């Protein structure tokens, strides 16, 4: 038997560990992390009034806890709520939603403020709100005026209990109307909070921690998702997910990508020339490239020597693909002398409406190489991009999520 010096053994072990790290795939993004399966209540029924209290200071914590006032619920739960709204409308009434899906991150903040399970669910197990399966609601009249109840929302006292009767008759009547309507819709009440209702199948949904600003609309059935890179890094990964009858599943990835040289911008903070990739949910298309055609179902446009993208903020054609090289407007050629745009996909950033100076020409395109940043686009190897464009289907309303937080 041969014996190796200790330092050689250490080197061999280190090399083995590095090899494993190099070939071990990145942890797959879960649909729950992206909030897939959650839908915007307002998109299903604009008549439902949304007044998310935790997006304001008007709540028991006195703090703004939500990053946006967008109300999300699991799709089946949201449709239950829509049916309740329609039943109430026949009585000249309607719903006002105070809370719906609550990210687990927010649950942790609530717990740090009020660590009391009488009022706040322990984030170690999560709440039914964290599953997108609970909703807090009140009643409004036909003019949208909120109807009084025996207590205010989020008042943790006996006045909020369903058996509390020492209150004005009209408030007791309003409470009963709400309870009857929600129970008819299949919701389960909570005896200590007149406003809180659970879906009967809430156990079927897992706790999620998605940013509501990054959840695509209910019609989207294909999603590309790009994680926020580590601080000071430009390398990330892209995943492709699609909706099936059994739910969302991963079908592409991990695909190595690189982002803007200055990382990912904060929400709505992208600016022309800042070298940052925008954060948000955006549409996709058309696909473009140097060849006459491409293997894709998406709309395709061939880039010629006469095609440019206007990046001059003062131009009325800012952030648009135009034909004909302008004399004065700053622009980028769509048919370059290198191969970066031999295949690409337009990311629908800053397009509806176009805001001058908020950034332009954001694409998925071919990279210079691993680790080499872009000016704000998302870039990858040509074979990977070919897989992506072949997979995308415009009938499934694909979207790209840029900047989700990793697991």
CATH 2.40.440.10 is right for the domain spanning 217-404: yes
Rounded to whole angstroms, the Cα distance separating 284 from 297 reads: 12
> Hey, which CATH number is domain 37-204, 3.40.720.10, 3.40.50.300, 3.30.1380.10, 3.30.750.210?
3.30.1380.10
Cis peptide preceding 254, ω within 30 of 0: yes
- Where does the chain hold its CATH 2.40.440.10 domain(s)? 217-404
User: Can you say how many angstroms the Cα of residue 311 is from the centroid of all Cα atoms in its chain?
Assistant: 27
Rounded to whole angstroms, the Cα distance separating 300 from 1 reads: 65
Rounded to whole angstroms, the Cα distance separating 400 from 388 reads: 12
User: Can you say how many angstroms the Cα of residue 273 is from the centroid of all Cα atoms in its chain?
Assistant: 25
- Cβ(244)–Cβ(310) below 8 Å: no
Hunting for tokens 């190489």 — which residue is that? 369
Cβ contacts of 82 within 8 Å, gap of 6 or more = 41, 44, 45, 48
Structure confidence at residue 272 (pLDDT): 97
- Cβ(309)–Cβ(321) below 8 Å: yes
Structure confidence at residue 23 (pLDDT): 31
Structure confidence at residue 119 (pLDDT): 77
Which of 32, 193, 221, 242 is catalytic? The answer is 193
Structure confidence at residue 28 (pLDDT): 82
φ, ψ dihedrals at 286, nearest 5° = -80, 170
Structure tokens at 303: 């880039």
φ, ψ dihedrals at 255, nearest 5° = -105, 120
- Cβ(264)–Cβ(229) below 8 Å: yes
Rounded to whole angstroms, the Cα distance separating 174 from 256 reads: 56
- Where does the chain hold its CATH 3.30.1380.10 domain(s)? 37-204
Rounded to whole angstroms, the Cα distance separating 226 from 105 reads: 20
Of the candidates 108, 97, 69, the one whose C-alpha atom is nearest the C-alpha of residue 209 is: 108
Cβ contacts of 143 within 8 Å, gap of 6 or more = none
109 CB-contact burial (10 Å; exposed 0-12 / middle 13-18 / buried 19+): middle
**In the annotation, is 407 catalytic?**
no
List, as one string, the DSSP characters of 155-211: --SGGGSTT---S-HHHHHHHHHHHHHHHHTT-EEETTEEEEEE-TTGGGS------
Region of residue 234 (left: phi > 0; alpha: psi -120 to 50; beta: else):
alpha
Hunting for tokens 């969302």 — which residue is that? 248
Hunting for tokens 């099936």 — which residue is that? 244
Rounded to whole angstroms, the Cα distance separating 186 from 201 reads: 10
What's the predicted TM-score (pTM) here? 0.85
Average pLDDT for runs of 10 along the chain of length 407: 41 37 56 93 97 95 93 97 98 98 94 85 93 98 97 94 97 98 97 96 94 93 96 95 94 96 95 97 97 97 96 96 89 94 98 96 97 97 98 98 85
- Cβ(218)–Cβ(202) below 8 Å: no
Structure confidence at residue 407 (pLDDT): 57
Rounded to whole angstroms, the Cα distance separating 223 from 346 reads: 15
């Amino acid at each position: 038997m041969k014996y190796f010096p200790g330092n050689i053994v250490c080197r061999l072990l280190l090399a083995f560990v590095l090899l494993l790290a190099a070939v071990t795939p990145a942890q797959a993004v879960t649909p729950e992390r992206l909030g897939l399966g959650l839908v915007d209540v307002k998109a299903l029924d604009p008549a439902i009034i949304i007044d998310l209290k935790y997006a304001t200071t008007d709540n028991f914590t006195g703090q703004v806890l939500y990053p946006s006032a967008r109300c999300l619920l699991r799709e089946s739960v949201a449709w239950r709520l829509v049916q309740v709204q329609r039943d109430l409308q026949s009585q000249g009434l309607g719903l006002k939603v105070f809370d719906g899906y609550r990210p687990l991150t927010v649950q942790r903040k609530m717990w740090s403020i009020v660590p009391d399970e009488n009022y706040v669910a322990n984030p170690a197990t999560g709440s039914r709100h964290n599953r997108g399966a609970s909703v807090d609601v009140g009643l409004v009249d036909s003019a949208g005026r909120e109807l009084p109840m025996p207590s205010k929302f989020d008042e943790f006292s006996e006045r909020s209990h369903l058996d509390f009767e020492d209150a004005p008759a009209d408030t007791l009547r309003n409470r009963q109307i709400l309870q009857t309507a929600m129970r008819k819709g299949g919701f389960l009440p909570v005896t200590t909070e007149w406003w809180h209702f659970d879906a009967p199948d809430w156990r079927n949904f897992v706790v999620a921690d998605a940013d509501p600003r990054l959840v695509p609309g209910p019609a989207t059935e294909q999603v590309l998702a790009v994680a926020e890179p580590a601080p000071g890094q430009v390398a990330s990964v892209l995943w492709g997910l699609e909706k099936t009858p059994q739910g969302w599943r991963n079908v592409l990835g991990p695909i190595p990508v690189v982002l803007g040289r200055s990382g990912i911008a904060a929400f709505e903070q992208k600016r022309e020339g800042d070298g940052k990739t925008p954060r948000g949910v955006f549409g996709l298309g058309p696909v473009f490239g140097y060849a006459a055609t491409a293997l894709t179902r998406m709309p395709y446009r061939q880039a010629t020597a006469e095609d440019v993208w206007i990046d001059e903020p003062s131009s009325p054609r800012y952030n648009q693909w135009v034909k004909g090289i302008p004399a004065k407007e700053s622009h980028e050629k769509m048919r370059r002398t290198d191969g970066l745009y031999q295949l690409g996909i337009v990311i629908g950033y800053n397009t509806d409406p176009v805001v001058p100076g908020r950034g332009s020409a954001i694409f998925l395109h071919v990279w210079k190489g691993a680790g080499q940043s872009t000016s704000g686009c998302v870039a990858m190897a040509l074979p990977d991009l070919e897989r992506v464009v072949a997979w995308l289907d415009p009938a499934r309303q694909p979207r790209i999520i840029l900047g989700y937080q990793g697991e």
